[in-house]
A and B are shown apart, each in its own frame.
Chain A
Amino acid sequence: MSEQLAKSTPPLVPQHVPAPVEDKVISPWKEAWRNFKKNKIALVGLSIVSFFIILAIFADLVAPYHYRDGNLADKHISPSAEHWFGTDEFGRDILSRIIYGARISLWVGFFSVAGSVIIGSLLGIIAGYYGKWIDGIISRIFDILLAFPSILLAIAVVSVLGPSLKNALIAIAIINIPTFGRLLRSRVLSVKEEEYITAARAIGMSDFRILIHHILPNSLAPIIVQGTLAIAAAIIEAAALGFLGMGAQPPTPEWGKMLADSKDFIIQAPWTVLFPGLAIMLTVLGFNLMGDGLRDALDPRMKS
Chain B
Amino acid sequence: MKKSLLTLFALMLALSLALAGCSSGGDSSKGGDDDKVDPNNVMIYGRGGDSVALDPAVVTDGESFIVTEQIYEPLVNYGKDNTDIVEGLAKKWEVSEDGLTYTFELEEGVKFHDGEKFNADAVIKNFERWAKSKDEEKFYYYKSMFGGFEGDEGHVIESIKADGEYKVVFKLKRPQAPFLKNIAMSPFAIASPKSLDGDKLSKEPVGTGPFKFKSWKPNDTIVLEKNADYWVKDLPKLDGVTFKVIKDNSSRLNALTKGEIDLMDGLNPSDMKKVQDNGKLQLFERPSMNVGYLGFNVEKAPFDKKEVRQAISHLIDKQAIIDNFFEGTAEPAKNPMPPSINGYNDSIQDREYDEAKAKELLAKAGVPDGFKMDLWAMPVARPYMPNGQKVAEAIQANLAKVGIEANIVTFEWGAYLEKTRNGEAPVFMLGWTGDNGDADNFLYTLLDKDNIGSNNYSRYTNEEVHKLLLEAQSTPDEDTRAELYKKAQEIIHEDAPWVPLVHSKPQLAGASKIKGFVPHPTGSQSFGDTSFE
Partner-B contacts on A (CB < 8 A): 68-70, 72-73, 75, 89-90, 144, 147-148, 153, 156-157, 159-161, 249-251, 261, 263-265, 268
Q: Are B394 and A90 in contact (CB under 8 A)?
A: yes
Q: Are A68 and B397 in contact (CB under 8 A)?
A: yes
Chain A residues closer than 8 Å to B317, beta-carbon distance: 72
Q: Are B396 and A250 in contact (CB under 8 A)?
A: yes
Q: Are A251 and B15 in contact (CB under 8 A)?
A: no
B317 nearest in chain A by CB position: A72
Q: Are A251 and B397 in contact (CB under 8 A)?
A: yes
Q: Are A156 and B12 in contact (CB under 8 A)?
A: yes
Known A72-B317, A264-B270; contact A90-B8, beta-carbon cutoff 8 A: no
Known A72-B323, A249-B407, A250-B408; contact A160-B397, beta-carbon cutoff 8 A: no
- Minimum CB–CB distance from A138 to chain B (whole Å) comes to 16
Selected contact of B321 from candidates A72, A249, A263, CB within 8 Å: A72
Q: Are A264 and B394 in contact (CB under 8 A)?
A: no
Known A72-B394, A251-B396, A264-B270; contact A160-B320, beta-carbon cutoff 8 A: no
Summarize B's interface: helix, strand, loop or mixed. Answer: helix
Interface assignment of B471: CB less than 8 Å from any CB of chain A: no
Interface assignment of B526: CB less than 8 Å from any CB of chain A: no
A-B contact pairs, 6 of them (CB 8 A): A72-B324, A73-B323, A144-B12, A148-B15, A153-B12, A251-B396
Interface assignment of B400: CB less than 8 Å from any CB of chain A: yes
- Minimum CB–CB distance from A63 to chain B (whole Å) comes to 16
CA distance A69 to B401 in the complex (A): 9
Chain B residues closer than 8 Å to A249, beta-carbon distance: 407-408
Chain B residues closer than 8 Å to A72, beta-carbon distance: 317, 320-321, 323-324, 394
CA distance A161 to B8 in the complex (A): 9
Q: Which residues of B from 206 to 262 have beta carbons under 8 Å from A?
A: 249-250
Chain A residues closer than 8 Å to B394, beta-carbon distance: 72, 90
CA distance A148 to B12 in the complex (A): 9
Interface assignment of B4: CB less than 8 Å from any CB of chain A: yes
Summarize A's interface: helix, strand, loop or mixed. Answer: helix
Interface assignment of B415: CB less than 8 Å from any CB of chain A: no
Q: Which residues of B from 375 to 399 have beta carbons under 8 Å from A?
A: 389-390, 392-394, 396-397
CA distance A69 to B394 in the complex (A): 10
Known A75-B324, A148-B12, A161-B4; contact A90-B393, beta-carbon cutoff 8 A: yes
Selected contact of B397 from candidates A90, A157, A268, CB within 8 Å: A90
Interface assignment of B268: CB less than 8 Å from any CB of chain A: yes
Interface assignment of B82: CB less than 8 Å from any CB of chain A: no
Q: How many A-B residue pairs have CB under 8 A?
A: 55
Q: Are B250 and A263 in contact (CB under 8 A)?
A: yes
Interface assignment of B11: CB less than 8 Å from any CB of chain A: yes
Q: Are B270 and A70 in contact (CB under 8 A)?
A: no
Chain B residues closer than 8 Å to A251, beta-carbon distance: 393, 396-397
Chain A residues closer than 8 Å to B250, beta-carbon distance: 263-264
B14 nearest in chain A by CB position: A156
CA distance A147 to B13 in the complex (A): 12
Q: Which residues of B from 251 to 289 have beta carbons under 8 Å from A?
A: 268, 270-271
Q: Which residues of B from 1 to 54 have beta carbons under 8 Å from A?
A: 4, 7-8, 11-12, 15-16
- Minimum CB–CB distance from B385 to chain A (whole Å) comes to 16
CA distance A144 to B13 in the complex (A): 10
Chain A residues closer than 8 Å to B7, beta-carbon distance: 160
Chain A residues closer than 8 Å to B4, beta-carbon distance: 160-161
Q: Are A160 and B11 in contact (CB under 8 A)?
A: yes
B409 nearest in chain A by CB position: A249
Known A161-B4, A264-B250; contact A89-B390, beta-carbon cutoff 8 A: yes
Q: Which residues of B from 334 to 392 have beta carbons under 8 Å from A?
A: 389-390, 392
Instruction: Convert B423-454 into 0s and 1s, putting 1 for each residue whose CB lies closer than 8 angstroms to a CB of A.
Output: 00000000000000000000000000000000
18 further A-B contacts with Cβ under 8 Å, apart from A69-B397, A159-B11, are A70-B397, A72-B320, A72-B321, A72-B323, A90-B394, A148-B15, A160-B8, A160-B11, A161-B4, A249-B407, A249-B408, A250-B393, A250-B396, A251-B396, A264-B249, A264-B250, A264-B268, A264-B271
- Minimum CB–CB distance from A272 to chain B (whole Å) comes to 13
Q: Which residues of B from 107 to 158 have beta carbons under 8 Å from A?
A: none
Chain A residues closer than 8 Å to B270, beta-carbon distance: 264-265, 268
Chain B residues closer than 8 Å to A157, beta-carbon distance: 8
CA distance A251 to B408 in the complex (A): 9
B407 nearest in chain A by CB position: A249
CA distance A263 to B321 in the complex (A): 19
Chain A residues closer than 8 Å to B396, beta-carbon distance: 250-251
Query: What 5 pairs across the A-B complex have the smallest Cβ distances?
Result: A72-B320, A250-B393, A160-B8, A264-B250, A72-B324
CA distance A27 to B142 in the complex (A): 82
CA distance A69 to B321 in the complex (A): 16
- Minimum CB–CB distance from B181 to chain A (whole Å) comes to 38
Chain A residues closer than 8 Å to B11, beta-carbon distance: 156, 159-160
CA distance A265 to B12 in the complex (A): 37
Chain A residues closer than 8 Å to B15, beta-carbon distance: 148, 156
Chain A residues closer than 8 Å to B320, beta-carbon distance: 72-73
CA distance A176 to B15 in the complex (A): 20
CA distance A161 to B320 in the complex (A): 35
CA distance A157 to B12 in the complex (A): 9
CA distance A44 to B63 in the complex (A): 54
CA distance A250 to B393 in the complex (A): 7
- Minimum CB–CB distance from B282 to chain A (whole Å) comes to 21
Q: Are B8 and A156 in contact (CB under 8 A)?
A: yes
Instruction: Convert B392-420 into 0s and 1s, putting 1 for each residue whose CB lies closer than 8 angstroms to a CB of A.
Output: 11101100100000011000000000000
A250 nearest in chain B by CB position: B393
Chain A residues closer than 8 Å to B8, beta-carbon distance: 156-157, 160
